[in-house]
Amino acid sequence: MMKNNAPKIKKPLDPNEVRTQPVSLADAETVKLYEERMIADKERIKTGEVVIDKHTESETARVSMPIEKEHIVIERVPMNGETVATDNVDAFHDDDTVRMEIYEDTPDIRKEVFVHEEVTIGKEVNQETINAEENLRREELDVDTQGNPAIDNRSNRAENRPI
């Protein structure tokens, strides 16, 4: 590898050119500028409670229904005594017994349980947007100069604020 031994050409000093030299950090002072920012956060709090229970109410119910009851009717018809019984020569026997069954309706009233309503219990979440407004404070740098010092306003921020 060859070395470039060409002499370095120095530019003449321009008296209007400003030359800067870094200052050591020991000579620098720092001022912190503070600002307030709105922080939007939320907290879930209990605002109430609903207790859903059920109870039993009683009422007297009445029902009407027709029922039938049979009864025996014995009807006697007197004869005028002049009629001769010719159809039955042997009329006096013990086997002339008549049996008749008697029926009646007996009510069968009972209770049965039916579902009369079904209730579904749940929650709905409604979302809404709230607007908040606050006055925010921010410190700005105030530079008070005496005389005509040269000030280089450098900033590492994307937005340069005037001093």
| pLDDT at 85 (0 to 100) | 67
pLDDT tens-place string over residues 136-162: 999 998 888 888 888 877 776 555 455
| pLDDT at 7 (0 to 100) | 59
Residue 14, pLDDT > 70, answer no
Dihedral sign for Cα atoms in the order 91, 93, 94, 96: negative
Residue 68, token pair as written in the block = 């039938």
| pLDDT at 45 (0 to 100) | 96
pLDDT tens-place string over residues 99-121: 999 999 999 999 999 999 999 99
Dihedral sign for Cα atoms in the order 118, 122, 128, 134: positive
Please state the pTM of the whole predicted model: 0.41
* H helices, E strands: number in the chain: 0, 0
| pLDDT at 142 (0 to 100) | 87
Most confident range, picked from 6-15, 51-60, 90-99: 51-60
pLDDT tens-place string over residues 21-77: 666 667 788 889 999 999 999 999 999 999 999 999 999 999 999 999 999 999 998
Single out the residue of 158, 161, 139, 157 nearest to residue 36, CA to CA: 139
